[in-house]
Amino acid sequence: MGCIGAHAIGLERGSDRLISLNEPLLYRDLKGIAGYVLDLLDIGRMRFCNPHALTKFFIINSLRQRTGARTFIEAGTNKGTTAARCARVFERVVTVELDADLARTSTRFLRNRSNVLVVCGDALSVIPRVIESQRLDRILVFLDAHAPLWGTANGGPPEPALDELNRLADYKDRICGVIVDDFRNFGAAPGFPSRSCLVSAAEAFCADGDFTFNVHLDQLIIERKRP
Ligand SMILES: C[S@@+](CC[C@H](N)C(=O)[O-])C[C@H]1O[C@@H](n2cnc3c(N)ncnc32)[C@H](O)[C@@H]1O
């Protein structure tokens, strides 16, 4: 794939039919701020359900600051909004998207971010390979690759987070934290594993005592303990 700025791998040349999704980041930022304000209002009214995208970024950035993570790995790029925000605060960003059109569109959107690598493929197999091949370290992983709730790619299980977490266990020494998005959908959305299975997987990940986990604002957050 001839890529335009952000590096891209795993893509073949093809149509850019989704290019209309490629709004400028400023527009996304304004939308993000509006969503964040709504989240604050909902928290104030005690009727918060799930965070908007900018709130999720603040959660990611807060974990980065607490753990000293330098590399952000995202399962599920979609339009590249979170990858773009994270590119401002992480040294390196690797984002994996199964849908080739979305991967192509987000590569264009992220073209000015020289620290971003967009990979087209299944996050379950791509993430371990990228950690090895790019020798990634001090990693924060954001698991947000799930089957279409509103028309994006499929090809694997509806929500592969459990398998992804199990695979990541082999790289614990390089990981500062893991966030699993959309906790509310586990045991609720069609085909998603149960919450008890997700919590068990998190407990297994933390079993050796180096990590702890919590559920906060619809995110399951696994965090390396500070010495
Ligand atoms: C909720 S969206 C991701 C949003 C994005 N993380 C953000 O915050 O801007 C989920 C994305 O995961 C992608 N996806 C689904 N299964 C996947 C898989 N096995 N590997 C990689 N991406 C996948 C979908 O195509 C979709 O674009």
**pLDDT, tens digit, 9 for 90 and up, residues 40-92:** 999 989 888 889 899 999 999 999 999 999 999 999 999 999 999 999 999 99
Report how far ligand 1's centroid is from the alpha carbon of 95 (Å): 9
Measured between alpha carbons, how far is 144 from 164 in angstroms, rounded to an integer?
A: 11
Nearest CA to ligand 1 atom 19: 122
Report how far ligand 1's centroid is from the alpha carbon of 146 (Å): 5
Atom of ligand 1 lying closest to residue 99 CA: 25
Report how far ligand 1's centroid is from the alpha carbon of 181 (Å): 11
Nearest CA among 64, 143, 63 for reference residue 96: 143
Residue 11 has pLDDT above 70, yes or no: no
Residue 4 has pLDDT above 70, yes or no: no
The whole-number pLDDT of residue 204 equals: 97
Q: Read off the pLDDT band of 12 (50, 70, 90).
A: very low
The whole-number pLDDT of residue 31 equals: 85
Nearest CA among 84, 73, 102 for reference residue 177: 73
The separation between CA 227 and the C-alpha centre of its own chain, rounded to angstroms, equals: 26
Report how far ligand 1's centroid is from the alpha carbon of 97 (Å): 6
The whole-number pLDDT of residue 27 equals: 75
Q: Ligand 1: which of 52, 98, 130, 142 to mutate, judged by most atoms within 8 Å of the beta carbon? A: 98
Residue 148 has pLDDT above 80, yes or no: no
Report how far ligand 1's centroid is from the alpha carbon of 91 (Å): 22
Residue 152 has pLDDT above 80, yes or no: no
Mean pLDDT of the chain: 88
The tokens of 94 are what?
Answer: 């690797």
Is CATH 3.40.50.150 what the domain over 7-12+21-224 is classified as, yes or no? yes
The tokens of 70 are what?
Answer: 């330098």
Q: What is the mean pLDDT of residues 133-139?
A: 97
Measured between alpha carbons, how far is 127 from 2 in angstroms, rounded to an integer?
A: 22
143 DSSP 8-state letter: E
3-state helix, strand and coil shares in percent for the chain, rounded to the nearest 5: 40, 20, 40
Indicate the domain borders of the chain.
7-12+21-224
Measured between alpha carbons, how far is 42 from 40 in angstroms, rounded to an integer?
A: 5
The whole-number pLDDT of residue 156 equals: 65
Q: Read off the pLDDT band of 13 (50, 70, 90).
A: very low
User: Which residues lie closer than 8 Å to 19 by C-beta, 6 or more apart?
Assistant: 105, 108
Does 14 or 51 have the greater pLDDT score? 51
Report how far ligand 1's centroid is from the alpha carbon of 75 (Å): 6
Residue 24 has pLDDT above 70, yes or no: no
Report how far ligand 1's centroid is from the alpha carbon of 106 (Å): 12
Measured between alpha carbons, how far is 150 from 99 in angstroms, rounded to an integer?
A: 13
Measured between alpha carbons, how far is 168 from 124 in angstroms, rounded to an integer?
A: 9
What residues does ligand 1 touch, defined as CB less than 6 Å away? Answer: 53, 74-76, 78, 81-82, 96-99, 102, 122-124, 144-147, 152-153, 156, 160
The whole-number pLDDT of residue 194 equals: 96
Alpha-carbon distance values, 17 to 7, 85, 100, 108 (Å)? 20, 24, 11, 12
The whole-number pLDDT of residue 177 equals: 98
Atom of ligand 1 lying closest to residue 153 CA: 25
Contact, 157 vs 127, CB < 8 A? no
Residue 97 has pLDDT above 90, yes or no: yes
The tokens of 160 are what?
Answer: 């592969």
Nearest CA to ligand 1 atom 25: 153
Count CB-CB contacts under 10 A for residue 216.
Answer: 13
The whole-number pLDDT of residue 2 equals: 31
Residue 21 has pLDDT above 50, yes or no: no
**pLDDT, tens digit, 9 for 90 and up, residues 167-216:** 999 999 999 999 999 999 999 988 899 999 999 999 999 999 999 999 99
Q: Indicate the pTM of the whole model.
A: 0.89
